[in-house]
């Protein structure tokens, strides 16, 4: 891997940065989805410069698309899952990957991936009801995609 990587989209430079920077702080939605797995969750931009998504308000990172309804891009490791009988999210399946388990969720009709420690994910079986949370990191937003 190089010290710096340039990500091009249709011949246009999207971002040039160290690999870890591309992953942690992508400049655009294209870079975010090109470098690693990304969830797209429906959100609403607030006048405060925050975005409301899955019951959480997060600061917006990057350009504001000047839209009220947006998609919020969230990495699977920034999704938290807590067992709750009255939870609004359902576990669809789990994939054991060693020290990490990827949990596939249905949150109000949106598919969400969460990467949890395998120890945390032990009790999460298909059909279990859970509460979904998001780590308090600035979020990249994009125009809402067709669903």
Dump the DSSP string for 11-46. Answer: TEEEEEE-HHHHHHS-SSHHHHHHSS--EEEEEEE-
What is the pLDDT, as a whole number, of residue 46?
A: 92
- pLDDT one digit per residue (tens) for the chain, 147 residues: 579 999 999 999 999 999 999 999 999 999 999 999 999 999 999 988 899 999 999 999 877 777 899 999 999 999 999 999 999 999 999 999 999 999 999 999 999 999 999 999 999 999 999 999 999 989 999 998 876
Q: Identify the DSSP state of 96.
A: E
Hey, what domains does the chain have and what are their CATH numbers? 1-36 (no CATH), 38-143 (2.40.50.100)
In contact, 68 and 45? CB cutoff 8 Å: yes
What is the pLDDT, as a whole number, of residue 66?
A: 79
What would the two tokens of residue 27 be? 């400049």
How deeply is 144 buried, as exposed, middle or buried, from its count of CB atoms within 10 A (0-12, 13-18, 19+)? middle
What is the pLDDT, as a whole number, of residue 34?
A: 95
CA 100 to chain centre: 16
What is the pLDDT, as a whole number, of residue 147?
A: 62
């Amino acid at each position: 891997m190089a010290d710096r990587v340039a990500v091009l989209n249709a011949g246009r430079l999207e971002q040039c940065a160290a690999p870890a920077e591309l992953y942690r702080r992508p400049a655009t939605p294209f870079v975010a989805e090109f470098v690693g797995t990304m969830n797209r969750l429906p959100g609403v931009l607030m006048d405060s410069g925050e975005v409301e998504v899955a019951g959480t308000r997060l600061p917006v990172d990057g350009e504001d698309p000047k839209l009220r309804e947006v998609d919020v891009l969230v990495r699977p490791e920034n999704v938290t899952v807590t067992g709750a009988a009255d939870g609004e999210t359902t576990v669809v399946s789990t994939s054991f990957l060693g020290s990490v388990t990827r949990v596939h969720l249905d949150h109000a009709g949106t598919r969400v991936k969460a990467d949890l420690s395998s120890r945390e994910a032990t009790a999460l079986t298909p059909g279990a009801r859970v509460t979904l949370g998001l780590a308090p990191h600035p979020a990249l937003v994009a125009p809402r995609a067709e669903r």
